[in-house]
A and B are shown apart, each in its own frame.
Chain A
Amino acid sequence: MKLFGLVFALSVFAFGVAMMHIEINRSGREIGRLQNEVEIKRARNQYLELEAIRLESPQTIEQLAQEKLHLRRTQPQQVIILED
């Protein structure tokens, strides 16, 4: 009876350990998935920010201003400095 009890306790312990490992693996997989998702979203965001910067760059603005609005670059003489 004692032997049976010991074997049973050992089995329960082993089962517990196995379950714990399964849970660790599951959580690790979930963490990996979430980390990946975060990184992808971050990268996507970065690309959008970079695109915004590109659109604000002097090259883009000058090109659009010249082609679509027929504007010319400001000459320094045209700059009026307001003094207090």
Chain B
Amino acid sequence: MLKQKNNPFIYNTKARMKLCGLLCLLAPLCIAGKLFYMQTFQHDEFTSKAERAIYNYLDEDRLRGKIYDVKGRFLAESVRTHSCGISKRYVKNKNETISFLAKVLHISKKDIERKWQRNKNFFFVAKKIKPDTYMDLLPAMKTSVGQGLDLTPEYERVHPYGSSAIDILGAANSKNLGLSGIEQMFNSELSQEISKRRAKRARRGELIYDRSLKEERSVGNVYLTIDILAQYYAEKALEKAVKDYEPEHGLIVVQEPKTGRLLAAASYPRKDGQSLPFQFTYEPGSTFKTIAISSALDAGAVSINDPIDMSGRKWEIARGVVVRDNQHDKEELTIPEIMAVSSNIGAGKIALELGAKNLFYYIKAFGFGTKTDINFNGESKGYVPPYNKWTVVDTATKGYGYGISLTPVQLIGAYSAIANGGWLMQPHLVDRIEYADGRVDHKAEVQRIRRVLKPETVETMKKVLEHVVKEGSGKKAQIKGYSVAGKTGTAEKLSKEGGYAKRHHVVSFCGFTPVEDPRFTILVVLDNPAKYTFGGTAAAPVFKEVAEGLLAMDGVAPDRPEELQPVQK
């Protein structure tokens, strides 16, 4: 009894209520404490968890500019497409969904089922779905058939001219990232930074846009110097040559000699981003005689009518190294004759007259052994060994294009220098980059790099090269009504066993037309044709075909109208 009286909780109602109240408050206090801890100390962690649960951050598909040709015809453009994926666990009726997809996407049910078996949960059924098909798929997304289907936006890089110029343009992936060629070279100018958008994904996978997280910026459109019509003529002529002669590689380059702009650059095989005019290196053979002989004329080492000794049409440069000319029976030849019959003895002797140091100087001045500023992906600079390592044999062989490797774009630049009056021009592949806000970047200005030949040398060389086409090895490049200047080349290729392989050749022709006011310099190269042939037989007719197309394209009036038949009325 006494104990009960002394205990304050037994009869004290207030104290009991306080105790109950405290006990009741304990749980909410703990919760409040925990909430306080979470809100203050774990705030960031929970915010990001909540964001991840509610929102999807969409990489708002990187936008990509267009690529145009010199006349504003667009060559590459990104078009929005979709990919269709399946999340197996959300699919309600497998057979129904597969049948629907097979019907709309024109894929066999078996293929979809095979993918279904192979993948654990998510897999893509189709990619690059065109807008019309997407519109057919869309209504189903709101029904049970569409449950578990995921339509993700992506881009397709479309080329309206098909594979034409694809070797220059290169490729871009479905995320609009440049992978090769111009697409890669100008990726930062062409593509827009990712503009992330926050969106909620609703029950059926619909996107509810919330807000943009980054400002969009304008993308650039790249204008090339390539004319798609000139490119077409080059590609078509190359295709025909490949069919006729079955070479391993083939290429055609067209340049405007006065501006350095490249109008066409065709390659065989045609692969995206693999442009042979920039990447292919070879020993040029006789097309290089033009460089050696013009250098010798320019330096005054020889004169145009100097007779060069051809006695026996056999020349022993050094002990055991003999050069033969089988294509003529003359004991003496002048420079026009040497070029017309493509005499190795003549070109070798002239190179020796000029001397190693001078020849090296001219070769470098013409731009050989140096990359052009185009800087195309994988562009080679070729190889010109230093002159102090040349022997007499090396100097002589360089005269007719051996012991040196170059790229087609370097050689066409050198011929353009002869065509335009002696100036080595900066070659251009990109004309300009235009942004939506009107800004213009990378403007291709006509730029003379240096004078390589005196005007009088150029005039002499033009006559010499015209003579090659009129009377010499380049007859098949003649175009009725137009003057053509050029040089053929048939070079033996290096053999794996050492020395030169007699049956493996690079045949070529490089020239320009019309001679007095040249509009086009064209280089044709066929590497290792399966059928034994020569530059004058295989490459010169290709030059003619391309040149005819170009002259008609630009409406160039004939400069030799006397050669034409009178027009019948």
A7-31: CB near B (< 8 Å → 1, else 0) gives: 0000000000000000001001101
Tell which of A33, A39, A50, A51 touches B80, judged by Cβ atoms closer than 8 Å. Answer: A39
A31 to B206 alpha-carbon distance, docked (Å):
11
Q: Measured between alpha carbons, how far is A73 from B233 in the docked complex, in Å?
A: 11
Q: Is B564 in contact with A77, judged by CB distance below 8 angstroms?
A: yes
Q: A31 with B549: in contact, given A50-B158, A57-B161, A76-B479 (CB under 8 Å)?
A: no
Task: Determine the interface band of chain A, counting residues with CB < 8 A from chain B.
Answer: 20 to 34
| A43→B232 contact, CB < 8 A | no
Complex contacts, B160 vs chain A, CB 8 Å: 50-51, 53-54, 57
Which chain A residues lie closer than 8 Å to B134 at the CB level? 40
Q: Is the CB of B77 within 8 A of A46?
A: yes
Can you list, as one digit per residue, whether each of B204-219 has a CB less than 8 Å from chain A (1) or not (0)? 0011111000000000
Asked if A40 and B210 make an inter-chain contact with CB atoms under 8 angstroms apart, the answer reads no
Of A41, A47, A76, A78, the residue contacting B79 (CB under 8 A) is A47
Q: Is the CB of B162 within 8 A of A75?
A: no
B295 at the interface (CB under 8 A from A): no
A78 to B480, CA, bound (A): 11
| Contact yes or no, A35 B77, CB < 8 A | no
Is the CB of B202 closer than 8 A to any CB of chain A?
Answer: yes
Q: Is the CB of B552 within 8 A of A74?
A: yes
Q: Give A76's nearest chain B residue, CB to CB.
A: B551
B199 near A32 (CB under 8 angstroms)? yes
Q: Are B555 and A81 in contact (CB under 8 A)?
A: yes
Supposing A32-B209, A57-B160, A76-B552 touch, asked if A42 and B200 sit within 8 A by C-beta, the answer is: no
With A and B bound together, what is the CA distance between A56 and B396 in angstroms? Answer: 52
Q: Is the CB of B207 within 8 A of A76?
A: no
Question: Whole-angstrom distance between the alpha carbons of A44 and B158 in the complex?
Answer: 13
- Select B558's contact among A47, A54, A58, A76, beta carbons within 8 Å: A76
Q: Does A79 contact B (CB under 8 A)?
A: yes
With A39-B80, A58-B228 as known contacts, state yes or no: A28 contacts B200, CB within 8 Å: yes
CA gap between A45 and B282 in the complex, in Å: 46
Contact among B131, B164, B556 for A76, CB-based, below 8 A: B556
Q: B548 near A75 (CB under 8 angstroms)?
A: yes
Closest to B158 in A: A50
Q: Is the CB of A29 within 8 A of B552?
A: no
Known: A47-B79, A74-B552, A76-B482. A29 touches B558 (CB 8 A): no
Pick the contact of A31: B209, B479, B557, B564 (CB < 8 A).
B209
B residues within 8 A CB of A44? 131-132
Distance in Å: Cβ of B100 to nearest Cβ of chain A: 19
Specify which chain A residues have a CB less than 8 angstroms from the CB of B200 in the assembled complex: 25, 28
Q: A32-B206, A47-B79, A47-B130 are in contact. Are A79 and B555 (CB under 8 A)?
A: yes
Q: For the complex, give the distance between the alpha carbons of A51 and B80 in Å.
A: 15
Residue in A closest to B229 when the chains form the complex, CB atoms: A58
Query: Residues of B contacting A32 with CB < 8 Å?
Result: 199, 206-209
Complex CA gap A42/B79 in Å reads: 9
Question: Is B74 an interface position by the 8 A CB rule?
Answer: yes
B481 on the A face (CB < 8 A)? yes
Please indicate the chain B residues that have their CB under 8 angstroms from the CB of A58 in the complex. 228-229, 232
Give Cα A57–Cα B236 distance, bound, in whole angstroms: 13
Give the shortest distance, in Å, between A77 (CB) and chain B (any CB). 5
Q: How far is the CA of A79 from the CA of B482 in the complex (A)?
A: 13
Q: How far is the CB of B511 from chain A (nearest CB, A)?
A: 15
Whole-angstrom distance from the CB of B73 to the nearest CB of chain A?
7
The CA-CA distance from A31 to B209 in the complex, in Å, is 7
Instruction: Give the 7 A-B residue pairs with the shortest CB-CB distance, closest first.
Output: A76-B551, A53-B160, A28-B208, A44-B131, A43-B80, A76-B552, A58-B232
- Residues of A participating in the B interface, judged by any CB pair closer than 8 Å: 25, 28-29, 31-33, 35-36, 39-44, 46-47, 50-51, 53-54, 57-59, 73-79, 81
Given known contacts A76-B548, A76-B551, A76-B558, what 4 new A-B pairs fall within 8 Å (CB)? A25-B200, A32-B199, A43-B130, A46-B77
List 12 contacting pairs A-B, 8 Å CB cutoff, sorted by A: A29-B202, A29-B208, A32-B206, A42-B80, A50-B79, A54-B162, A57-B160, A57-B232, A73-B549, A76-B482, A76-B551, A78-B552
